[in-house]
Amino acid sequence: MRARNEDAFGLLERPPLWVVADGMGGHAAGDRAARIAVEAVVGAMAAARRAGAEDLVAAVEKAHRAVARDAGADPARAGMGCTLVAALVAGPRLHVVHAGDARCYLLRGGRLRVLTRDHSAVAELGSRASGLRHVVTRAVGVALDAGPEYTWEGVERGDRVLLCSDGLWGPVPAGRIEGLLRESPDPLSACEALIEAALERGGPDNVTAVVAFRKG
Amino acid sequence: MDRWRVLLGDREVARFDLPEGGSVVVGRGADADVRIDNPAVSRSHCRLVRQGGHVRVEDLGSRNGTFVNGVRVEGNAPVGPADRVTLAKFTVQPATGPTGRGTDLDATVVLGRRSGCSVPLRRLVCLSGRAEPEVVELSGRGVVRVGKGAECEARVAGFALGRVQFTVLASAEGHVIAHRGRWRATRVADRKIGGEPVRLSPGDEIVAGPVRFRYE
């Protein structure tokens, strides 16, 4: 499995782990929050023995505390945080934990499915108001009272997994994501094609995506 | 003094009626009128009798004793509306008002940052065996690990239980439970569970070796 992207992400080979974070709360502070969160998750998972879903959720909670602590150290960073999605392969299962509107997609049998449920005003209130489009209801570092959310899926041969920020799924329609993931010969070209598609459609600079293929 | 309840800490674990002229046996045995499934409670622990508007409690030769306001009952003792009867870690007392506090607690909701959505308070209550704490709050936590290890949010004691015996995770569809131990099984509602997460329903009993919890 291979992957690539731009901006705040993290990868681990053992256990197989992928993390994508998208910062918010002022440009510099947002980047910092995303980086701290990703480092905290990767660090905690690298240290976990027989890592399972509980370690991943605990790692995201740890990242939340790390970001909140860092934000408290400097008034300029007050309110910084990030959306985050992390996926772990443990035995026969893919464990996914997320906060905010970062998403995890699964392409199986040529069909694309989103495994995560956005924590956003739009998703939860059903509102299409443009003023609410960027309002997330949970975020690492600032609003995690409800905890991160966990979901899982059995892993099958040929599965393709995409973790991404709203910079990708916002401008690129699901059908296009499905097509690009399906037609790419390897994760690297899939990632490049997806990011290119986002930038073509006027996506922001901080498009972050991680793609992983399970051997067919 | 018609309605009574049994509390563990501030949690109601049972309630019963004590009509005029009636009597109720509290104990661990299957033939007790009010069952408390805890090893520190004797099979027939004590009897509450209501006669002529007065309630008396009689110790039925229990091993660990019956207490009224902390004073051990020798034979029998009167119980007033403000008195507390205790056996092991359980308190038996009249329910105040037509609806007891348990009902209020069940109706309690937390309005999170997810405006418009409400999340019911959920917890694990230890019914038997040793667990620290005995009431484990789940709300606002992404994961609760139960086991012998220091990393667990709820520590339990019992032969061959795992460092992490099972975990409860917050998913989009409510709490799910997954077995993580190596030697002893974890059962939910009398069914052995594996590593595949299983949805919890309020009232489910979770058993691992000598420890028993109820999800509520």
Average of pLDDT values for A130-135?
Answer: 61
Q: Which of B114, B117, B143 sits opposite A57 (nearest CB)?
A: B143
Amino acid at A138: R
Structural domain boundaries of chain A? 7-213
Is residue B13 within 8 A of residue B1, CB to CB? The reply is no
In terms of Cβ atoms closer than 10 Å to its own Cβ (0-12, 13-18, 19+), residue A46 is middle
The tokens describing A162, both together, are 């995409």
**Residue of A150, A152, A153, A155 to mutate, interface with B, max B Cβ within 10 Å:** A150
Backbone torsions φ then ψ of A83, nearest 5 degrees: -85, 155
Mutate to test the interface with A, among B110, B143, B151 (most CBs of A within 10 A): B143
Question: Looking at beta carbons, which pairs linking A14-18 to residues 24 or more positions away fall under 8 Å?
Answer: A15/A45, A15/A48, A15/A51, A15/A88, A15/A89, A15/A90, A16/A88, A16/A89, A16/A212, A17/A41, A17/A42, A17/A45, A17/A51, A17/A56, A17/A86, A17/A87, A17/A88, A17/A89, A18/A86, A18/A87, A18/A161, A18/A163, A18/A210, A18/A212
Q: Please give the structure tokens belonging to residue A16.
A: 């197989």
Whole-number percent of chain B with pLDDT over 90: 44
> Between chains, do B167 and A91 touch, taking CB under 8 Å as contact?
no
Q: CB of B178 within 8 Å of any CB in chain A?
A: yes
Distance (Å, whole) CA B62 – CA A12: 58
Residues 97-156 on B with a CB inside 8 Å of A are 112-117, 119, 140-143, 145, 151
Rg over alpha carbons for chain B, rounded to the nearest Å, is: 19
Contacts of B112 in chain A (CB under 8 A): 137, 145-146
Map tokens 């509450």 to a residue. B48
Distances in Å between the Cα of B139 and the Cα atoms of B145, B148, B165, B175, B215 are 14, 22, 20, 10, 12
Quick one: residue B21, left, alpha or beta (phi over 0 = left, psi -120 to 50 = alpha)? left
Q: How far is CA B201 from CA A96, A149, A167, B170, B175, in A?
A: 22, 18, 37, 13, 8
Q: Which of A106, A14, A41, A137 is nearest to B113 (CA)?
A: A137
Closest CA to A85 of A127, A28, A34, A130: A34
Mean pLDDT, residues A206-216 taken together: 85
Q: How many percent of chain A have pLDDT more than 70?
A: 89
Asked if B56 contacts B18 with a C-beta cutoff of 8 angstroms, the reply is no
Which residue of B115, B117, B142 is in closest CB contact with A148?
Answer: B142
Model confidence pLDDT, tens digit, residues B129-166: 999 888 998 887 888 999 999 989 999 998 899 999 99
Chain segment A194-205, per-residue pLDDT in tens: 989 988 887 666
Mapped onto helix, strand or coil, the DSSP state of residue B118 is strand
CB B139 within 8 A of CB B151: no
Angle at Cα A81 formed by Cα A181 and Cα A94, nearest 5°? 40
CA atoms within 13 A on the CB side of B129: 23
* Chain A, nearest residue to B113 by Cα: A137
Q: Which of B114, B119, B169 sits opposite A150 (nearest CB)?
A: B169
B169/A119 touch (CB, cutoff 8 Å), yes or no = no
Which of A57, A91, A151 shows the shortest C-beta gap to B172? A151
What is the pLDDT, as a whole number, of residue A133?
59
**Helix (H) or strand (E) segment spanning residue B39:** none
Residue A7 has pLDDT above 60, yes or no: no
Q: Given an 8 Å threshold on Cβ–Cβ distance, is A61 in contact with B143?
A: yes
Does residue A146 sit at the B interface (CB-CB below 8 Å)?
yes
- Which residues, numbered 47 to 86 in chain B, qualify as contacts with chain A under a Cβ-Cβ cut-off of 8 Å? none
B-contacting residues of A 44-103, CB under 8 Å? 52-54, 57-58, 60-61, 91, 93, 97
How far away is chain A from the Cα of B29, in angstroms, using its nearest Cα?
Answer: 37
B119 contacts on A by Cβ (under 8 Å): 146
Per-residue pLDDT of A35-80, as tens digits, reads: 999 999 999 999 998 899 999 999 999 999 999 999 888 888 887 8
| ipTM of the complex as predicted | 0.72
Does position A8 have pLDDT exceeding 90, yes or no? no
Residue B118 has pLDDT above 50, yes or no: no
Fold for domain A7-213?
A: Phosphatase 2c; domain 1 (3.60.40)
Cβ-nearest to B145 among A54, A91, A117: A54
**For residue A1, is pLDDT > 90?**
no
Substitution target from B111, B114, B180 for chain A, most A beta carbons within 10 A: B114
Who has greater pLDDT, B8 or A155? A155
Beta-strand relationship, B54-59 and B76-79? antiparallel
Q: Could you say which of B141, B145, B197 has the minimum Cβ distance to residue A147?
A: B141
Give the distance from residue B119's alpha carbon to the nearest chain A alpha carbon, in angstroms. 9
Beta-carbon contacts of B50 under 8 Å, excluding residues fewer than 6 positions away, are B1, B18, B19, B20, B21, B22, B23
Interface test with B, best of A49, A54, A104 (most B CBs within 10 A): A54
